[in-house]
Amino acid sequence: MARTDNLLYIETEDACANCGLRDVRALTVHHIEQSAPKNEDYDNKIVLCHNCHQCHHSGKGPTKAQIEEIKSRLIVKTLTRLGLNALKRAHRGSVVIAMPFTVDHLVEWGYLRHVQDLAFWEEDEDEPKLLETGKQVASEAAYAITEKGKRLLEKWKLK
């Protein structure tokens, strides 16, 4: 299972996003936009139970619009945890400064790109000195939004 898929289960708390059935054996990952090859982007995938999944694909509901509505709320919830504010700030300005671990999923998914590490000064010394790379306890870096990140914010109206 891809790491993205793990996060999909976390965002629905191991339940079907449509009916709430909580049984991991009965759950599957559905691709909202059907395409070949499959679009494996995080925002195109959602956890459904086999029953809801089958009903959707056979036209007995939930509809694609309903699934998108559910996913839209899940995206806000998940991205808020993974750095949505950093993404929004990067969209408004040129770069955003963040601790790498706070935005690593956004970088991994291609929504933010690393621009440069920032040099850090140790403040509590009498004589401030530049910490050597690799020894930094709290390092920050500059990130810029990617085209993919802009499309994500626009598609789901997150700006």
**Which residues of this chain interact with Zn ion, rule CB under 5 A?**
16, 18-19, 21, 30, 49, 52
Smallest distance from the beta carbon of 109 to Zn ion, in angstroms? 21
| Residue whose CB is less far from Zn ion, 71 or 91 | 71
Q: Reduce the DSSP state of residue 117 to 3 states and report it.
A: strand
- Alpha carbon 104 to chain centroid, angstroms: 9
| Residue whose CB is less far from Zn ion, 16 or 153 | 16
Smallest distance from the beta carbon of 17 to Zn ion, in angstroms? 8
| Residue whose CB is less far from Zn ion, 70 or 141 | 70
Q: What is the dihedral angle through the alpha carbons of 55, 58, 60, 63, rounded to the nearest 10 degrees?
A: 80
Question: Using the 8-state DSSP alphabet, how is residue 14 labeled?
Answer: S
| Residue whose CB is less far from Zn ion, 19 or 130 | 19
Widest distance between CA atoms in the chain? 71
Smallest distance from the beta carbon of 36 to Zn ion, in angstroms? 13
Closest CA to 45 of 5, 1, 13: 5
| Residue whose CB is less far from Zn ion, 18 or 78 | 18
What sign has the CA pseudo-torsion 14, 68, 95, 143? positive
Count the neighbouring beta carbons within 10 Å of the beta carbon of residue 52. Answer: 24
